[in-house]
Amino acid sequence: MNVSDVSSTGGLRLDSATVGGGPLRDAAGDPEAASFRAALLERARERVDDVVDRFVATTLVFPILQKASDSPFRSEMFDGGFTESSFRGRLNQIYADQIAGSDRLSISRSLGHRFHQWLEHQGNAALERVVGQKGLDTLG
């Protein structure tokens, strides 16, 4: 941590380069750097939206669909038999991904919005790490 000044009140003022930069520090006065940062921020937002959608689908929507398909009120007349029971999990996963990715599910949108706000205050190095992550594990 680079401490550049100690104020008279005893507080420390930190150099912004060591705290993660920020949008103004990274793109100060350079239009090329500003356009690079804007493109990097957009890719990071898309990546975060994808991860948030998968997280909500896996932890919230999928278990609800599984419980609904294991209903005690199933009818033999409408039961798909062995084939349905074999592929029901995958079908529920596809439904969960589509539901979580839709604009109607406000949980995904609000989580994504919070992470977008966080991304705006990160330096380019942090954004590059978010964009460059391969196969993020949404379950931990």
Report yes or no on 11 lying in a domain.
Answer: no
Report yes or no on 30 lying in a domain.
Answer: yes
pLDDT confidence of residue 124:
85
Kindly write down the DSSP assignment for every residue of 104-132, as one continuous string. T-HHHHHHHHHHHHHHHTS-HHHHHHHHH
pLDDT confidence of residue 94:
92
More confidently predicted of 44 and 5: 44
What pLDDT digit, counting tens, does each position of 60-113 carry? Answer: 999 998 888 777 777 777 777 778 778 888 999 999 999 988 877 788 888 889
**Residues of the domain holding 101:** 24-132
Report yes or no on 86 lying in a domain.
Answer: yes
Report yes or no on 29 lying in a domain.
Answer: yes
What pLDDT digit, counting tens, does each position of 108-140 carry? Answer: 888 889 999 998 888 888 888 888 865 555 544
* Secondary structure of residue 68 in the 3-state scheme: helix
